[in-house]
């Protein structure tokens, strides 16, 4: 191409790029404000929680941070590739069970998981080491599944990822000696401080940002918007998708491990359709192609759910106590989601990111 048409499109030839190299990290410097603002939002929420200091609220905020991790993980793949994946919660499940295998007291573990190899039964490590290993394990699983699945695109890919989730769920529900079957796995050390969750959420936001502005992330977004043109310009779409799939799988695994530590109990059905849909809904409501959209979608929908829960439990205004009937919480949530999507079909943020300067989308 550069030999054929240098006169017509001089700015596309390699020659001009060499002649005027871009300044290093120009894209990074221009966009880093987004993850910083999002991280500040997370820190602000954490500080607010510290000031109220109530236990139940603490748990609520931990849930918010966990969902931020999961939705950011989803964004890395879904947002950049445009392929809707129903399977990512499968990686969360893998991560959670890795955390269970690595952190439960060996004596209890011997009883619960008789089928684990001896060396694994003997190991017991701090939760953060286990979480890192869980992320690596989930990333490896994503690499294996992704090698097969990333050849597909569109709705076929979505269904194939769902089939993957269902496979993981079936195996973990029935492989009694290794996963404890459908019964709850108890004895996972509970981490009550909000800081580890905050740090993990911020780390995932920065990973997602770094991936999105990397060569691979940019190529993938090009392929999302114009698949034919991107492929013609030499973007290896399955490969770039695989990169995103592995990174997002690892983030989901990290989220799963921390989720296990936040409640101390795991079952395979915790990580199935319910969690899949609520996380995807948060991403879509916020704006599928936007990191800020994902994070703010989580904060917004979580706040909404929490408010409705409070109303359901009963609120007294003056002398009048009133409570909305049970079940109305979910109905209201569904209706509000439909209204938001009807008004803003591309989500609240669409493809834009928050930043201090005016931006024109990507």
Partner 1 sequence: MLQILFDALSLGSLYALGALGIALIFGVMRLVNFAHGDVIAFCVFALLWPSTDAMAIVFAGQLPWYLLVPFVLLCGAGLSMLCEIVVFRRFRKANPATMMIASFALGFVIRYFLLMLFSSRPKSINLLPELSQPVEIFGARLPLLQLITIVATMLILLGLTVFLRRTRFGLEMRAAAENFSMARMLGVRANRVIMGAFALSGALAGAIALIFVAQTGTADIQMGAAIMLMAFIATVIGGLGSLAGAVLAGFLLGGASVIMQVMLPIDARPFRDAFVYGAVILVLLFRPQGLISARGTKERV
SS3 string, the chain, reads CCCCCCCCCHHHCHHHHHHCCCCCCHHHHHHCHHHHHHHHHHHHHHHHHHHHCCHHHHHHHHHHHHHHHHHHHHHHHHHHHCCCCCCHHHHHHHHHHHHHHHHCCHHHHHHHCCCCCHHHHHCCCCHHHHHHHHHHHHHHHHHHHHHHHCCCCHHHHHHHHHHHHHHHHHHHHHCHHHHCCCCCECCCCCCCCCHHHHHHHHHHHHHHHHHHHCHHHHHHHHHHHCHHHHHHCCCCHHHHHHHHHHHHHHHHHHHHHHHHHHHCCECHHHHCHHHHHHHHHHHHHHCCCCHHHHHHHHHHHHHHHHHHHHHHHCEEECCEEECCCCCHHHHHHHHHHHHHHHHCCCCCCCCCCCCCCCCCCC
Min dist CB 227 to partner 1, Å, is 8
Show the binding pattern over residues 105-144: x = contacts partner 1 (CB under 8 A), - = does not.
Answer: ----------------------------------------
Among 327, 356, 357, 358, binds partner 1 (CB under 8 A): 327
- Based on the shown chain and the rule CB under 8 A, indicate whether residue 341 belongs to the binding site for partner 1: yes
Min dist CB 306 to partner 1, Å, is 17
Site for partner 1 in 159-178 (CB under 8 A): 159-160, 162-164, 166-167, 170-171, 174-175
- Based on the shown chain and the rule CB under 8 A, indicate whether residue 324 belongs to the binding site for partner 1: no
Among 136, 199, 311, 346, binds partner 1 (CB under 8 A): 346
Among 202, 285, 296, 305, binds partner 1 (CB under 8 A): 285
- Based on the shown chain and the rule CB under 8 A, indicate whether residue 335 belongs to the binding site for partner 1: yes
Give 8 or 343: the residue with its C-beta nearer to partner 1. 343
Among 281, 304, 311, 354, binds partner 1 (CB under 8 A): 281
- Based on the shown chain and the rule CB under 8 A, indicate whether residue 57 belongs to the binding site for partner 1: no
- Based on the shown chain and the rule CB under 8 A, indicate whether residue 234 belongs to the binding site for partner 1: no
Among 25, 57, 277, 310, binds partner 1 (CB under 8 A): 277
The footprint of partner 1 (CB under 8 A) covers 84, 148-149, 151-156, 159-160, 162-164, 166-167, 170-171, 174-175, 228, 273, 277, 280-281, 284-285, 288, 325-328, 330-331, 333-335, 337-338, 341-342, 345-347
């Amino acid at each position: 191409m550069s030999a054929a048409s240098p006169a017509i499109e001089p700015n596309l030839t390699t020659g001009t790029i060499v002649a005027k190299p871009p300044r290093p990290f120009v894209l990074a410097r221009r966009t880093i404000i987004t993850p910083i603002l999002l991280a500040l939002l997370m820190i602000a929420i954490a500080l607010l929680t510290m000031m109220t200091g109530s236990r139940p609220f603490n748990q609520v905020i931990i849930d918010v941070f966990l969902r931020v991790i999961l939705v950011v993980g989803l964004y890395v793949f879904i947002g950049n590739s445009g392929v809707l994946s129903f399977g990512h919660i499968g990686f969360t499940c893998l991560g959670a069970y890795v955390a269970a295998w690595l952190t439960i007291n060996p004596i209890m573990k011997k009883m619960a998981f008789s089928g684990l190899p001896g060396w694994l039964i003997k190991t017991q490590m701090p939760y953060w080491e286990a979480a890192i290993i869980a992320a690596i394990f989930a990333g490896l699983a994503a690499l294996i599944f992704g090698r097969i699945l990333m050849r597909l695109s569109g709705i076929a890919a979505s269904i194939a990822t769902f089939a993957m989730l269902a496979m993981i769920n079936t195996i973990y529900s029935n492989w009694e000696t290794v996963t404890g079957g459908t019964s709850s796995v108890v004895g996972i050390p509970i981490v009550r401080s909000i800081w580890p969750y905050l740090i993990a959420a911020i780390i995932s936001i920065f990973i997602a940002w770094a991936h999105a502005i990397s060569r691979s992330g940019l190529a993938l977004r090009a392929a999302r918007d114009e698949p034919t043109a991107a492929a013609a310009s030499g973007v290896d779409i399955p490969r770039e998708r695989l990169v995103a799939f592995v990174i997002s799988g690892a983030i989901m695994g990290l989220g799963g491990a921390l989720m296990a530590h936040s409640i101390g109990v795991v079952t395979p059905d915790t990580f199935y359709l319910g969690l899949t849909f609520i996380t995807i809904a948060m991403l879509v409501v916020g704006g599928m192609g936007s990191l800020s959209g994902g994070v703010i979608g989580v904060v917004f929908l979580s706040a909404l759910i929490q408010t409705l829960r409070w109303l359901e439990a009963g609120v007294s205004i003056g002398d009048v106590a009133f409570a909305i009937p049970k079940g109305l919480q979910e109905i209201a949530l569904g209706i509000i989601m439909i209204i938001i999507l009807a008004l803003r079909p591309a989500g609240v943020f669409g493809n834009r990111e928050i930043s201090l300067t005016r931006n024109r989308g990507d």
